[in-house]
Amino acid sequence: MTIRSVHEAALAALMEADPDAKCAAAQALQADWGAGRLRVVAAADLGEPLTHPGRPPRPLLVPPQEVPVRAAGRREGHAALLHAIAHIEFNAIDLALDCVYRFRSLPVDFHAGWVQVAAEEAQHFGLVRERLRALGFDYGDFSAHNGLWEMACRTAADALARMALVPRVLEARGLDATPPIMARLRAIGDAGSVAVLETILRDEVGHVALGDRWFRHLCAARGVDAETTYRQLVDDFGAPRPRPPLNVEARRAAGFSEAELARLGGAQD
């Protein structure tokens, strides 16, 4: 049996431009990892950002403020909402793959965790894309923004910053946003998409928790206080603050402390 580097296999999946091929490659990565056909090759982390991962020619990427907001009660607005979710999930595949490709100094457990996340994000993308297609649209039919990947590039040189600002900031915002989106979809009778988002929310708690675990691990290894460091990184990078209401239960399950939740405005009596 040929044993290959998990980092190079992750890069190959990362550079796949076709969405179906990328999803298949992410799931094959997990299968090969589970079968013992891939190994971690301990080395220094790669600091140079990968600015152009594999992407299809559409969607058109525009600044966040130029992404149109449409009412979910109309068919096109309904589809635009699902498209925005699909785009997040597509980017999340790349974010997980980049962790495996880039942060080679970290233990085997780190890579195992992000290999699994990549496969789960691929599944999520496929589920949302199915719902989008049921409305007569497809991924790429609406414009989108590149904020998630831009943060990946900004944190490419530091695993601690990546774990803080992608899972614990950007993906944690998804924990807050998903229940209101589910309520909007439920109100227009889209039970199928609500069921998909229930699956995504369950898995995303685990993804944020994985980031929390390695963020705290890296803080301990560097001898710095995790929660003070988190606040400093959010300020230093100008990362977005959460928008209320917070999903306190999900954030708590993902590793946020009571003190953090109180500072974020999500404390409950």
Q: What is the pLDDT of residues 65-86, one digit of tens each?
A: 888 777 777 899 999 999 999 9
pLDDT band with cut points at 50, 70 and 90 for residue 267: very low
d(CA 165, CA 158): 11
Please name the fold of domain 4-39+57-263: Ferritin (1.20.1260)
Mean residue pLDDT of the chain comes to 95
DSSP H/E element including 4: strand 4-5
Through-space distance between the first and last CA atoms of the chain, rounded to whole angstroms: 57
- Picking from 260, 265, 126, the residue whose alpha carbon sits closest to that of residue 196 is 126
- pTM for the whole structure: 0.96
Domain coordinates of the chain in residue numbers? 4-39+57-263
Q: What pLDDT is attached to residue 260?
A: 94
pLDDT digits (tens, 9 = 90+) for 183-236: 999 999 999 999 999 999 999 999 999 999 999 999 999 999 999 999 999 999
Average pLDDT over residues 134-141: 97
Beta bridge partners of 5: 39
**Residue 48 pLDDT > 80:** yes
**Residue 269 pLDDT > 50:** no
d(CA 251, CA 230): 15
Please, what's the b/e burial string for 204-224 (b: 16 or more CB within 10 A of its CB; e: otherwise)? bbebbbbbbbbbbbbbeeeee
